[in-house]
Amino acid sequence: MTTVKAYASPSSTEDLIPTTIERREVGPHDVLIDIKFAGICHSDIHTVRGDWGPQQYPLVPGHEIAGVVTEVGSEVTRHAVGDRVGVGCMVNSCKECENCLKGEEQYCLKGNVGTYGAVDRDGTITQGGYSTHVVVTEDFVVRIPEGLELDVAAPLLCAGITTFSPLHHWGAGPGKNVAVVGLGGLGHMAVKIAHAMGAEVTVLSQSLKKQEDGLKLGADHYYATSDESTFSDLAGTFDLIINTVSASIDISSYLQLLKLDGALVNVGAPAEPLPVNAFALIGGRRSFAGSMIGGIRETQEMLDFCAEHGIGAEIEVIPAEKINEAYERVLASDVRYRFVIDTATL
């Protein structure tokens, strides 16, 4: 075991504090990563505060990890010392079930192993990226292309793949009209990626205060959902709607904005249920779907796509001592558009 510096949540009600944690020794198939940057995801806040269920504390969050390989196990073939790499929301899976064999490890039938707060295959509780180093099995480490700086690449490991995967799966591209609900950490990535895929992109946000940002990021149109005329004016407009909001919204109203056979895909994860009026679905053969992250193969595809198109996250780099302040600012929607921790400050 190796002791490394980290920031951890002592309980669901306390601020995160500096601490040390133990990382396992590098096994034959493991990669040791010197973490350079770690993004702050809204999921981190939900998890450490117990919104999605009880946790085992102390807990080190962070699943948007970018760094450099400093050691590899004796049987590692995919990575070498000095490689620029990333780790996203999962660090293991059964690797044997139907979904894993398809490259959809995120939907492992036995449950994928989350990067933090999960029980790993050896029975230990995983600890995340708000730390100086992490040891991960090589199969769950991806390569960060040279065209991407590590700080703007870190949020791609969650926000990037969470939006790329449904856009890719539901065929966003030329001739498709795509709406993005919410322009936050996920939403700004959805706009950039959908635009790069060639779709016509509309942002649906509560107000117009981020309109200038949205258009700069690649949106063709921007509407305020607080204006009731938005829902009548845009009825039957979209092939695909990506809902990035982690709060309860009136899903049935948004479903009415879809064309025949359109899909509304939820990637935001509110703690409370989202009720749906059946008639909003059956009236236009519409789909209300969900999507998580992507598998390792698709995550690599996303990183390569982002490098090719010059896409990184819009970030504010912070020192570790500002993590708690950053949490409050995320909850107040006061970030454009992702906080990234410089782990050298740990």
| Whether the predicted pLDDT of 110 surpasses 90 | yes
| Averaged pLDDT, 232-238 | 97
- Kindly report the pTM of this predicted structure: 0.95
Between 32 and 274, residue with greater pLDDT: 32
Task: Say how many residues make up the chain.
Answer: 346
| Whether the predicted pLDDT of 273 surpasses 90 | no
| Whether the predicted pLDDT of 210 surpasses 80 | yes
Rounded-to-integer distance, Cα 106 and Cα 296, Å: 8
Task: Identify whether the C-beta of residue 223 lies closer than 8 Å to the C-beta of residue 197.
Answer: no
| Whether the predicted pLDDT of 271 surpasses 80 | no
Q: Tell me, rounded to whole angstroms, the distance of Cα 167 from its chain centroid.
A: 14
Helix 185-197 vs helix 296-308: crossing angle, to nearest 10: 70
Quote the pLDDT of residue 336: 87
Helix 159-169 vs helix 185-197: crossing angle, to nearest 10: 40
Quote the pLDDT of residue 309: 97
Q: Summarize pLDDT for 297-328 with one digit per residue, the tens.
A: 999 999 999 999 999 999 999 999 999 999 99
The overall average pLDDT reported for the chain is: 96
Buried b (16+ CB within 10 A) or exposed e, 157-172: bbbbbbbbbbbbebeb
Structure tokens at 137: 């099995």
Rounded-to-integer distance, Cα 6 and Cα 341, Å: 11
| Averaged pLDDT, 12-36 | 96
Rounded-to-integer distance, Cα 89 and Cα 112, Å: 9
Buried b (16+ CB within 10 A) or exposed e, 31-65: bbbbbbbbbbbbbbbbbbbeeeeebebbbbbbbbb
Q: Summarize pLDDT for 198-209 with one digit per residue, the tens.
A: 999 999 999 999
Q: Summarize pLDDT for 279-301 with one digit per residue, the tens.
A: 999 999 999 999 999 999 999 99
Quote the pLDDT of residue 339: 97
Q: Calculate what percentage of the chain has a pLDDT beyond 70.
A: 100
| Averaged pLDDT, 10-36 | 96
| Averaged pLDDT, 223-232 | 95
Q: Calculate what percentage of the chain has a pLDDT beyond 90.
A: 90
| Whether the predicted pLDDT of 154 surpasses 90 | yes
**What are the phi and psi torsion angles at 92 (to 5°)?**
-170, 165
Q: Print the SS3 string covering the chain.
A: CEEEEEEEECCCCCCCEEEEEEECCCCCCEEEEEEEEEECCHHHHHHHCCCCCCCCCCECCCCCEEEEEEEECCCCCCCCCCCEEEECCEEECCCCCHHHHCCCHHHCCCCCEECCCCECCCCCECCCCCECEEEEEHHHCEECCCCCCHHHHHHHHCHHHHHHHHHHHCCCCCCCEEEEECCCHHHHHHHHHHHHHCCEEEEEECCCCCHHHHHHHCCCEEEECCCCHHHHHCCCCEEEEEECCCCCCCHHHHHCCEEEEEEEEECCCCCCCCCCCHHHHHCCCCEEEECCCCCHHHHHHHHHHHHHCCCCCCEEEECHHHHHHHHHHHHCCCCCCEEEEEHHHC
**Residue 128, CB half-sphere, CA atoms under 13 Å: how many?**
35
β-strand partners of 288? 264
Category of 2 on φ-ψ map: left (φ > 0), alpha (ψ -120 to 50) or beta: beta
Rounded-to-integer distance, Cα 198 and Cα 290, Å: 22
Question: Of 133, 158, 173, which Cα lies nearest the Cα of 268?
Answer: 158
Quote the pLDDT of residue 269: 83
| Averaged pLDDT, 127-146 | 97
| Averaged pLDDT, 59-79 | 97
Residue 80 pLDDT class (50, 70, 90 cuts): very high
